[in-house]
Structure 1
């Protein structure tokens, strides 16, 4: 079973590398490892990710949506979530976004199964917190997986991050240090 799962992950990664969507390229997702040495989504580990601008970082304080729409915002928020031991919420959300971009039925089924095993299964160490109604919907959807199998769960996790983690992120040292560092650079320039 373990070797079969490893083989599926290899196939999934090779398919993702062969067919990156424009959205993945735009948002810097797709070919990343969840244990990259840095907090970037690109997974290149040479850290060629763009540094956020002061304007972007200030915009993150205006709304959670503005934070989540930028790769740098997601990276900083993911770093914060890691300190709170809830990084799986962002990883699940990103995996769902990636699934939505897929059009190949067999790849959709494979990715959906991996998402289920990694984030929904009660046996997973990265299990996300979902209510029983959403779990029932997912179990029904898994009979015939699609790009939208996890939509209800993704919305629930997005809402959880927005209401619970985002306010703490805005008051965190991670956010304040980044804002201060960019403000100082702006003054010097």
Structure 2
């Protein structure tokens, strides 16, 4: 991992998420806080938006819904009931933007809550220290 990457992760959540290693380190951190479902959902949405085949999209939408959105889902994300309801209504005919609103909410949650804690975490601070010594 390049020292430049580690420093860039501290500039914005976008910089962190643009880097595969950054995502892995962030996921490790989130796991310590029992909130990795936020990043996993965000990643699933990023992949979902790239699906062009309607059959594949429908299967992916149902999988994302079952894992993250439905009430009592194994990795239920923290979204409001209106957004959850919208997704529930559209899940039978999911469009490419089916999860956009929920993804924006989760991104905001990560940006304002998890990400600032990540920057102060021992995990990130240790990597930053290593990067600065190189």
Give the TM-score taking structure 2 as reference length: 0.95
Per the alignment, residue 113 of structure 1 pairs with: 62
Partner of 1:141: 90
Q: How many residues align?
A: 134
For 1:92, what is the secondary structure of its paired residue? helix
CA distance in 2, matches of 1:120, 1:179: 35
Q: Which residue of 1 aligns with 2:38?
A: 89
Deviation at 1:125, TM superposition (A): 2.1
1:60 is displaced (CA, Å) by 1.3
Given the alignment of the two structures, is residue 165 of structure 1 paired with residue 104 of structure 2, yes or no? no
Determine if contact 2:38/2:106 at 8 Å carries over to the other structure.
yes
Name the larger-Rg structure.
Answer: 1
Contact 2:13 2:111 in 1 (8 A): yes
Q: What is the 5 A alignment of 1:8-19?
A: none
Paired position in structure 2 for 1:78 = 27
- How far the C-alpha of 1:96 sits from its partner, in A, is 0.6
Distance 1:93 1:148 in 2: 13
Q: Aligned with 1:74: secondary structure?
A: helix
Secondary structure of the residue that 1:127 maps to in structure 2? coil
Higher relative contact order, structure no. (Cα contacts within 8 Å, ≥ 6 residues apart):
2
Runs of 4+ residues deviating >6 angstroms: none
1:159 to partner: Cα distance: 0.5
TM-score (norm 1): 0.68
Indicate the RMSD between aligned Cα atoms, in angstroms.
1.0
Report SS of the residue matched to 1:102.
Answer: coil
Q: Distance in 2 between matches of 1:183 and 1:159?
A: 29
Superposition deviation, residue 142 in structure 1: 1.0
| Maintained 8 Å contact 2:7/2:131 | no
User: Residue 48 of structure 2: which of 96, 99, 102 is its match?
Assistant: 99
Aligned counterparts of 1:65 and 1:147: Cα–Cα separation in 2: 21
What is residue 178 of structure 1 aligned with on the other side?
A: 127
